[in-house]
Amino acid sequence: MPKTALIVGGGISGCTAALTLSKLGIKCTVYELRDVPATIGGAVNLTPNALRILESLEVEISGCQCDAIEIFSLATGSKIAELGFKGKSGPAKRVERAVLQRGLLEAVERVGVGIIYGAKLVEVTELGGKVDVKFESGSSAAADFLVGCDGIYSAVRMSYVEPERKPIYTGMCTAYAIVQKAGVTSDIHFQQTAVNSSRFGALLTSYTDPEKTRIYLGAVMETTEQCSRDGWKTRGLDREMTAKEVQRRYATCAFACLPELIAKAEDWIFYPVCKLGAGGRWSKGRVILLGDAAHGMPPQGESTGLAIEDPVLLAQVLAHFPDKSLGAIFESYEKTRRPRIDTAYKEAVFRWVNVKDKSWLWQKFEEWLTWMYIWYRADFFEKSMAYDIGKERIIE
Ligand SMILES: Cc1cc2nc3c(=O)[nH]c(=O)nc-3n(C[C@H](O)[C@H](O)[C@H](O)COP(=O)(O)OP(=O)(O)OC[C@H]3O[C@@H](n4cnc5c(N)ncnc54)[C@H](O)[C@@H]3O)c2cc1C
C-alpha cells in the first residue's frame, strides 16, 4: 500500500479523495489553484447514491430535497413529464455547489488533511519511485502517487497523462443566477426542481435550500462563439448582454413567475460548457486522474455524483489489493469504473444535443417524445440512482 499521496485540485473529487484515502492511512496533501475556496457555482443535483456516500463520510450538506424533476413546456405551460426519485433509491437533493464545497472542506479539516491554496500545478515528473510536482510559485512536492482532481482543464492531464486530450466546446453556454424567493409575487409553478423546455434551450428552476427561500435559475443557451474561460463571472457589458439574452429566450412564456424571476436576478454568471472526448487515458505511471479531469462531460444531473464516486472506488481498490503495484491498482480501477462512466457519458452527450435551438415543429415533436423517453428509460434511471459503489465487484 502506498504511504503518501499528492492530490491536485481541492474541488469535489479532490476533497472526497482526501477523505477516502486518508481513511486508509495514506498521508495526503491537497494542492488547490485558488487562493481561497470557490464561492461561485450554481446548484448541482446530488443523486441518492452520492448522498449515501457523503453521509458515510460524515459530510453534512444542506439543500432542497428533490423527489422528482418536473418537465414543463415553456410555450404552453403544460407538464410534459416527471423524472422521479421516489423508487427504491430515495430522494435526490439540489444544493449550491459552494455549500457542497464548504461541507467537504469542513470534513477534510476534521480528518486533519492539509490544503495548500494558491498552488497552481505546472509540471509533473517521476523519479526513483516517487512522483514530483512543481507549482507556478516555484515550490515543489513529492509523494508515492499523485491524484489529478483538477477538473476538465486539468493541468495534470494536459502536462503529463495525455497532453493531446483537450476540452472540447459543446457549442452551449450556461448562465445562472440565484434569486431570493421573498419578494416574488407570482405563483411558482414547480414543487422543487423543474426543467422548462423551449425552442431556444432549457431553463432549469430549482429551490436550493430546505426552507425554499432561494431559487436557482440555470439557462442553457446555444452560443456558437465560445465565451472566454475566465468569463466565469462576466463583467460590465457582458453581464448585461447575458441578462438580455436570457430575457429574449425565456421571458415570453406561459408562466408568470419566470419573467419576474429573470428580472429579479441581478448577478448572472456565464460559462461555456465543455466536454472531453470519449474514452481517453486515466493514468500514467504513478499518476491517476479522477472526476472531470478524467471524464469531463456536460452536466446531466449525475456528474457531481460521479466525481464523488471515483475516489470511493479508488480507495476500495487500494484496500482490496494492498500488495499490488500502483500500475495494477490503476488498471483494476479503470476496468471496474469504465462501464458506468461510458454509459453516463453517452447519456450526457445525447441530452445536450437535444437542448440546441430548434424549429417550432421539432420542439412540439420533442415535447411529445419526452414523456415516452422518460417512460422507456425509467428502469435505467432508477438503476443508475440506486447504484451503490460499495457493492461494485472489483475487476482484477
Ligand atoms: C468554481 C467552480 C464552479 C462550478 N460550478 C458548476 C455549476 O454551477 N454547475 C455544474 O454543473 N458544474 C459546476 N462546476 C463543475 C463541477 O464542480 C464539476 O463538474 C464536478 O463537480 C466534478 O468535480 P471535480 O472535482 O472533478 O472538478 P472541479 O469541481 O472543477 O474541481 C477542480 C478543482 O481543481 C482546481 N484546479 C484546476 N487547475 C488546477 C491546477 N493547475 N493546480 C491546482 N488546482 C487546480 C480548481 O480550482 C478546482 O478547485 C464548477 C466547478 C468549479 C471549479
69-103 confidence digits (pLDDT tens): 999 999 899 999 888 876 667 789 999 999 999 99
Helices 12-23 & 97-110, crossing angle to 10 degrees?
20
Nearest CA to ligand 1 atom 49: 11
In the chain the beta strands, taken as DSSP E runs, fall at 4-8, 27-32, 43-46, 64-66, 68-73, 79-84, 92-96, 114-117, 121-127, 130-135, 140-143, 145-148, 168-180, 193-198, 201-207, 214-222, 269-275, 283-284, 287-289
Query: What is the pLDDT at residue 62?
Result: 96
Give the position of cell 461510458.
342
pLDDT confidence band for 357 (50 / 70 / 90): confident
**Nearest of 92, 43, 72 to residue 207 by alpha carbon:** 43
Nearest CA to ligand 1 atom 35: 9
pLDDT at 226 over 60: no
Determine if ligand 1 sits within 6 Å of the CB of residue 167.
no
Nearest CA to ligand 1 atom 53: 11
Query: What is the pLDDT at residue 300?
Result: 75
Determine if ligand 1 sits within 6 Å of the CB of residue 134.
no
Query: What is the pLDDT at residue 354?
Result: 66
Separation of CA 101 and ligand 1 centre (Å): 10
| Cα gap 374→5, rounded to integer Å | 42
**pLDDT tens digits for range 316-350:** 999 999 999 999 999 999 999 999 999 999 989 88
Query: What is the pLDDT at residue 223?
Result: 77
| Cα gap 62→98, rounded to integer Å | 11
Q: Which grid cell sits at 26?
A: 495514506
Determine if ligand 1 sits within 6 Å of the CB of residue 307.
yes
Query: What is the pLDDT at residue 316?
Result: 98
How much of the chain exceeds pLDDT 70, in percent? Answer: 95
Assign domain 4-62+97-167+277-355 to a CATH class: alpha beta
DSSP output for 369-388 = HHHHHHHHHHHHHHHHHH--
Query: What is the pLDDT at residue 233?
Result: 46
**pLDDT tens digits for range 122-131:** 999 999 899 9
Averaged pLDDT, 198-214: 94
Helix (H) or strand (E) holding 121: strand 121-127
User: Tell me, what amino acid is at 28?
Assistant: C
The minimum-distance atom of ligand 1 relative to the CA of 296 is: 19
Separation of CA 110 and ligand 1 centre (Å): 22
Query: What is the pLDDT at residue 269?
Result: 87
Determine if ligand 1 sits within 6 Å of the CB of residue 156.
no
Averaged pLDDT, 190-217: 94
Lowest mean pLDDT among 41-55, 144-158, 206-220: 41-55
15, 44, 273: residue to mutate for ligand 1 pocket, most atoms within 8 A of CB = 44
User: Tell me, what amino acid is at 130?
Assistant: K
174/101: higher pLDDT: 101
Averaged pLDDT, 226-239: 51
**pLDDT tens digits for range 257-293:** 999 999 999 888 888 889 999 999 999 999 999 999 9
Query: What is the pLDDT at residue 355?
Result: 67
Query: What is the pLDDT at residue 234?
Result: 47
pLDDT at 387 over 90: no
Determine if ligand 1 sits within 6 Å of the CB of residue 122.
no
User: Tell me, what amino acid is at 223?
Assistant: T
| Cα gap 392→58, rounded to integer Å | 21
- Strands 145-148 and 4-8, by their bridges, are parallel
Q: Which grid cell sits at 267?
A: 448577478
185/396: higher pLDDT: 185
**Nearest of 220, 218, 233, 242 to residue 173 by alpha carbon:** 220
Separation of CA 254 and ligand 1 centre (Å): 35
8, 12, 30, 122: residue to mutate for ligand 1 pocket, most atoms within 8 A of CB = 12
Query: What is the pLDDT at residue 101?
Result: 97
pLDDT at 185 over 50: yes
Determine if ligand 1 sits within 6 Å of the CB of residue 272.
no
The minimum-distance atom of ligand 1 relative to the CA of 10 is: 49
What are the strands of the beta sheet with 43-46, ordered from one edge? 43-46, 92-96, 64-66
What are the strands of the beta sheet with 140-143, ordered from one edge? 121-127, 130-135, 140-143
Q: Which grid cell sits at 139?
A: 515550490
Average pLDDT of the chain, as a whole number: 90
Separation of CA 291 and ligand 1 centre (Å): 9
Separation of CA 28 and ligand 1 centre (Å): 19
Determine if ligand 1 sits within 6 Å of the CB of residue 44.
yes
Query: What is the pLDDT at residue 232?
Result: 45
7, 30, 32: residue to mutate for ligand 1 pocket, most atoms within 8 A of CB = 32
Separation of CA 363 and ligand 1 centre (Å): 33
Measure the CA dihedral 235/237/239/243, to 10°. Answer: 180
Determine if ligand 1 sits within 6 Å of the CB of residue 299.
yes
For 231-325, where are the alpha helices, taking DSSP H only?
A: 236-250, 257-264, 292-295, 303-320
Query: What is the pLDDT at residue 87?
Result: 66
Q: Which grid cell sits at 241?
A: 448582454
Lowest mean pLDDT among 9-23, 67-81, 308-322: 67-81
pLDDT at 227 over 80: no
